[in-house]
């Protein structure tokens, strides 16, 4: 393997690993999510520089650009025209609007990495599956023992698992668990694991749905069932 190939290989592995850490960052908190996103953006710009903006942008991308332009416009508009004679401070409004641009950069970065086939999605799906299973089993542990693995207790009938005071465990599982159902069929279809799809997928469904119910988040449970129903049909 040539030196250039090794460098490209290492870049792909590093960026894939950083992206795969995002589901774990959600568990750790907003600060780590922001740090993780910033590292991914900076690392990608460091490796690929202006090449990032040479990808072909589609109509959906243009709508997203328009959406972020609207955020900037409303932020500055509110600051300059709705200050109510300085009785209410809107100083942070433009700043918050500008900071939202990081999500646009993150979107462009992920678009670029996906289009150029740089991301190893097998690693991404594995990390997501392990993260969701951890949250699910932490909720089961909290339900049985009264405290989760980190010592957090539930709030009445609602269990938060590793999220502490934030009752978002059900929403987390509902969103990220969908990746888990495609891990074996897509990335292990030629392995012995694929023979057990008929068993693995129903077990995952029971684990995830049960943990969402125990979390006490009703809407995520309903959305989870609807999503699984639609996936099964289509």
Helix (H, G, I), strand (E, B) or coil at 195: helix
Query: H/E element holding 92?
Result: helix 92-99
Task: Identify the band that residue 96 occupies on the pLDDT scale cut at 50, 70 and 90.
Answer: confident
Task: Please tell me which residue, 6 or 99, carries the higher pLDDT value.
Answer: 99
pLDDT at 4: 45
Cα 175 to chain centroid, rounded:
8
Helix (H, G, I), strand (E, B) or coil at 111: helix
Q: Structure pTM?
A: 0.80
Tens digit of each residue's pLDDT (9 = 90 or more) over 157-199: 888 889 888 888 999 999 999 999 888 778 777 766 666 667 8
Task: Identify the band that residue 222 occupies on the pLDDT scale cut at 50, 70 and 90.
Answer: very high
The CA-to-CA distance between both ends of the chain, in Å, stands at 42
183/102 Cα distance (integer angstroms): 29
Task: Identify the band that residue 10 occupies on the pLDDT scale cut at 50, 70 and 90.
Answer: confident
Give the Å distances, CA to CA, from 185 to 129, 133, 143, 148, 177: 13, 18, 31, 32, 15
Instruction: Tell me: pLDDT of 5 over 90.
Output: no
């Amino acid at each position: 393997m040539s030196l250039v190939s090794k460098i490209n290989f290492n870049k792909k592995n590093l960026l894939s690993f950083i992206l795969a850490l995002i589901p774990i960052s959600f568990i750790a908190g907003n600060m780590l999510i922001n740090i993780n996103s910033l590292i991914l953006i900076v690392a990608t710009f460091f490796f690929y520089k202006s090449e990032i903006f040479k990808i072909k942008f589609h109509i959906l991308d243009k709508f997203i650009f328009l959406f972020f332009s609207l955020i900037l416009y409303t932020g500055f508009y509110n600051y300059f025209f709705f200050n109510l004679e300085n009785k209410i401070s809107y100083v942070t409004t433009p700043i918050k609007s500008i900071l939202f641009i990081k999500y646009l950069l993150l979107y462009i970065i992920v678009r670029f990495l996906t289009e150029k086939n740089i991301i190893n999605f097998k690693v991404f799906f594995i990390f997501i599956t392990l993260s969701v299973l951890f949250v699910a089993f932490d909720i089961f542990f909290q339900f049985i023992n009264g405290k989760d693995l980190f010592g957090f207790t539930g709030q009445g009938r609602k269990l938060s698992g590793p999220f502490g005071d934030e009752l978002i465990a059900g929403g987390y599982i509902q969103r990220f668990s969908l990746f888990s159902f495609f891990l074996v069929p897509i990335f292990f279809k030629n392995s012995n694991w694929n023979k057990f799809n008929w068993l693995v997928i129903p077990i995952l469904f029971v684990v995830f749905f049960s943990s969402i119910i125990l979390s006490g988040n009703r809407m995520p449970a309903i959305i989870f069932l609807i999503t699984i129903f639609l996936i099964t049909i289509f």
